[in-house]
Homo-oligomer: A and B are copies of this chain.
Amino acid sequence: MSQVEISSTRRRRGRASLMAAREAEKTPRLSTIKYALSPVEVVSADQLERIHQASMAILRDVGIDFRDETAIRQWREAGADVRGHRVHLEEDMVMDLIAKAPRSFELRSRDPEQRITVSPETLTFGTMQGAPNVRDVDGVRRASTMEDLRDVNRLTQMLPGFHVAGGFTCEPTDIAVPWRHLHINRSSLVETNLPYFGLTTGQERAEDSIAMARIAYGEDFMKSNAVIIGQISGNSPLVWDATMLEGLRVYAEANQAVLLSPFILGAANTPADVAATVAQLNAEAVAGLAYTQLTAPGAKMIYGQYSVSVSMRSGAPMSGMPEVSLVNVLVGQLARRYGIPWRTTASQSSAKTFDPQSGYESAIAYMSGATAKSNLFLHAGGWDEAGLVCCLAKFVADAEQNLLIAKYAEGISFDHFDEALEAVRRIGPGGHYLGDSFTLKRFKDAFISPEMLDYLSYEQWKAQGSKDMAQRCREKAKMLLSSYEAPLIDAAVREELDAFVAKRQEQISPSLA
């Protein structure tokens, strides 16, 4: 009952034409994805107001630490109640500051055609960040190197499912820590031509990141265009640290986008309660967003959050959990209230190998984010083992999932509805549609056809080597890497980037202080 029976010659001919038409096409890179879904909501307007007010009460009564002298001075000058590093904020000041932010902004690429709008109405996919290990194209888990990071960028450039590339997808552990940001930025700019994640940990690394972007894009261009996103992680509960605030200022003042992400380990650094977890997270996010507008009015910014719950058995973060999906729904409702685009974590898994768990958890995160109308899916490629591994096979699988999620988010078109209903009249009860003219005309756009997901019969699948999805994706990654060609970059720009890296390596000691 669950397998379509294709028995008639007429149907077979129909399918052959369809297959030929499909083979001729190549999937183009995702452009801006505009949501056509009205999202899941889980609280009423009154309850949402209650959470918002709880966040405001936390900021007013408990306060939040800005462990950074510049920020403290700025808050004091703005009239906030500052005691040591503790800042107590009133709702009016916070909301007035947030109101200065643009609701929508563009991310530019070296390809002038590729302009991505980030807004509460759009969906953007970015690669994973921060893995110290890689699971390579042979399935071997090991400490990642610079060459692995470059491979991730090469894959990003070749796979159509990403809008934002680069950053420290995996750590180049074979390069001295104080030099890594230089090589990471260089690879983002040389191996891809997409907007990318810059490095933000501290004043100097942030400045180097901006300087390198300016080499590639030009200082004038960057004055009015964002090409790079700086991720600024919170230190929950209720702390923003100097290292991150320095990075924040450098990016925001250079008119580049910033992503402010409280780092939530539910029940470990928040209360064991979903709504109160969000009240705290929201207090942290809103304070960071307000500070961004205080230091750089009009700065392009994204309401971020990294949320997992924590296993009480092992203390480990748990991906794909319902509480985290509910956090997404609530954060979505709050961010829309504030009119700020917001970020979720897509495709996160805790699996130690690319197995069914990896699939379940990743897809739950994808759908949870899309149905909550999240505007930036960070980590949407490769994330496994709670972020300790960037899995190249999973990177390929996730890139395809991005295409599927994009199609879901874009909803339903009525452009061909009447013509399609004519087909219903033409075919009638008991007929079939495979050879119908409307099917031939529309199937390519109407129904997506993935490549890494397998739809062969069991016998065909066995005849082709009984390859599970992990193996198919490893093979695809190898094939892509062997046929990679770097995007165009001006030779002078490339030389200037190399010279910048060389100069800074001379200036920076390779050993950590």
Which A residues form the contact surface with B (CB < 8 A)? 1-4, 6, 11, 15, 18-19, 22, 36-43, 47, 50, 54, 57-58, 61-65, 86, 130, 141, 233, 235, 237-239, 263, 265-277, 279-280, 306, 308-318, 320-323, 325-326, 329-330, 350-364, 366-368, 371, 385-389, 394, 397, 401, 404-405, 407-408, 411-414, 416-417, 419-421, 423-425, 427-434, 436, 438-439, 441-443, 446-450, 452-458, 460-462, 466, 468-470
Contact = CB atoms under 8 A, between A and B. Distances in A.
B363 A40 contact: no
A312 B15 contact: yes
Contact of A457 (B41, B263, B316, B427): B316
A433 B412 CA distance: 45
Chain A interface secondary structure, helix, strand, loop or mixed? Answer: mixed
A26 to B, nearest CB: 16
A168 to B, nearest CB: 10
Contacts of A36: 42
Nearest to A423: B271
A314 B457 contact: yes
Contacts of A363: 320, 359-364, 367
A446 B273 contact: yes
A131 to B, nearest CB: 8
A268 B434 contact: yes
B275 A424 contact: no
8 contacts: A58-B424, A237-B432, A238-B428, A272-B446, A273-B420, A352-B461, A356-B470, A367-B368
Given A15-B315, A311-B455, A318-B447, 18 more contacts: A2-B388, A22-B312, A37-B42, A43-B412, A65-B430, A141-B458, A271-B438, A273-B442, A315-B434, A317-B455, A318-B453, A351-B454, A352-B461, A355-B356, A356-B359, A356-B468, A371-B371, A388-B458
A447 B47 contact: no
- Counting every copy of the chain, the complex holds 2
B40 A417 contact: no
B458 A40 contact: no
A274 B407 CA distance: 12
A440 to B, nearest CB: 8
A416 B352 contact: no
A86 B361 contact: no
A306 B275 CA distance: 36
Contacts of A2: 130, 306, 308, 317, 386-388
A389 to B, nearest CB: 8
Contacts of A277: 420
- Please provide the 10 A-B residue pairs with the shortest distance between their CB atoms, ordered closest to farther: A359-B359, A2-B387, A276-B420, A367-B367, A363-B363, A273-B420, A322-B408, A238-B429, A271-B420, A355-B468
Contact of A438 (B238, B272, B351): B272
A364 to B, nearest CB: 5
A276 B385 contact: no
A352 B237 contact: no
Given A62-B424, A425-B62, A456 B314 contact: yes
B446 A323 contact: yes
A447 B321 contact: yes
Given A429-B86, A430-B239, A453-B361, A394 B356 contact: yes
Nearest to A17: B312
Contacts of A22: 312-313
Contacts of A330: 412
Given A42-B36, A329-B37, A355-B359, A428 B272 contact: no
A354 B357 CA distance: 10
A458 B429 CA distance: 56
B41 A265 contact: no
Contacts of A268: 4, 432-434
B359 A358 contact: yes
Contacts of A423: 271, 276
Contacts of A416: 273, 276
A448 B322 contact: yes
A70 to B, nearest CB: 18
B4 A315 contact: yes
Contacts of A401: 360
A482 to B, nearest CB: 23
Contacts of A469: 351, 355-357
A394 to B, nearest CB: 7
Contacts of A315: 4, 6, 11, 15, 434
Contact of A325 (B39, B353, B408): B408
A469 B357 CA distance: 6
Residue among A326, A364, A387, A405 with the most chain B CB within 10 A? A364
Contacts of A19: 312-313
